[in-house]
Amino acid sequence: MEAGQDLPITGVCVVSDPGKCPPHYTVIDKTYDRPEDADLWKDGLFTRRVMRYLCVERQVPTQTKDVLVDATLINEKDPIPPGFTVVEYTHDSREKATKKKCLCLRWMIPTMTSDAITELILLSRTQRRAPIGYTLVGELNNMCLCYKMGKVSSPGSSNQSTPSTEVQGYSAMPQQYSTIPVGSGLPYTMSPGSQGLGPLGSSATMSRTGPPEQSSSSLATGNVNPLSGIEWKMNPKYNVLMELQNVTIPEIRGKTLMDIENQYAYDFSVERSVSKTADLS
C-alpha cells in the first residue's frame, strides 16, 4: 500500500499534460487492474492527440480543507446534482476537462462526516465490475471510474493541546456549584407533593409566602431578589392542559391494498352512460 493511501482525498483536478500535475497531487496515468493508459479523452481517428489525466491530492484532515465524500458522472447537458461541483476545465491549460461526460464531486468539511473517499481508480475497458471494497461511479472513455471510502479522523484530535488555565489573570479552575434542591432557591414555597412534578403538575397555582430570606452578606451589600413580592401562578389559558387526563387514542386498523380498493372503488358507470347518451343525441 502506498504511503498516504488511506488519507482522505482533499483535491481533484484534470490536467492535459501528466507532467504538469500540481504540487502534492498524484496523477492517475495507469488503470488499476492492468498497466494501461488512463487517458480520459477519446480521440478521433484523424485528429491530433488530446490527453486528459485525473489528479488527486490526499492530506490529513484540517478545518480549512474539505474532504471528498461522493462522486458521480453525468451527461454534458444534464443539470449538476444538488450539493455537487463539476470538474469543468483542466488545471494546467483551462481547456475542457472531459468529453461527453462530466465528473461531479461532493465535498464536506471533516467535522461533519466520519467517512470520506480515500482513493479514485480507473479500470481498463475489459473490467466492468468494481473491485471488492470499491464503488462503481460510471464510465469515462471506456474506462470505469471507482472510489473507495475510508474513515476520517477529527482534525487535531491526536495532537490537541490542553487549553491554558489562566487568561488575563483570571483562573479557569472548575467552579464549585451548590447542590441545594431547586425549590429552596425559588422565591416561593413549593406545595407539598409538587417536588419532582413537571410544568403540568397537579398544582396549577403556586402561592407566594413572602420575600425569600436574605443572608447577612446580601443585606449588607443591598442585593435584593428582583422577584421578591411577586405572586406566582400559572396563566389561566394553560389550565386546560391540566385537564388532559385519561385520553383515549382511537384504534387505527391497518388496511391492505385490497381493502383500500374495495372501500374506494368507483366504476364510473354514471359517466359512461351520460357519455353514451350524449353521443346518441
- 133 contacts 115 by C-beta, under 8 angstroms: no
DSSP, collapsed to helix, strand or coil, labels residue 11 as strand
The pLDDT of residue 46: 61
The angle subtended at Cα 181 by Cα 176 and Cα 185, nearest 5°, is 85
Domains and CATH numbers, the chain: 9-151 (2.100.10.50)
Q: pTM score, two decimals?
A: 0.54
Residue 152: what pLDDT?
85
Q: What is the mean pLDDT, run by run of 10 residues, along the chain of 281 residues?
A: 69 93 93 90 73 93 89 92 92 91 93 92 89 93 92 65 41 44 45 45 45 46 63 76 69 82 81 78 63
CA angle centred on 34, ends 29 and 39, rounded to 5°: 30
What's the residue count for the chain? 281
Q: What's the pLDDT at 208? A: 45
- Which DSSP string do the residues of 146-172 spell out, in sequence order? EEEEEE-PPTTSSSPPPPPSEETTEE-
Provide the β-strand partners of residue 144.
Answer: 123, 139
229 to each of 35, 189, 208, 216, 223, how far by Cα in Å?
A: 86, 13, 8, 19, 15
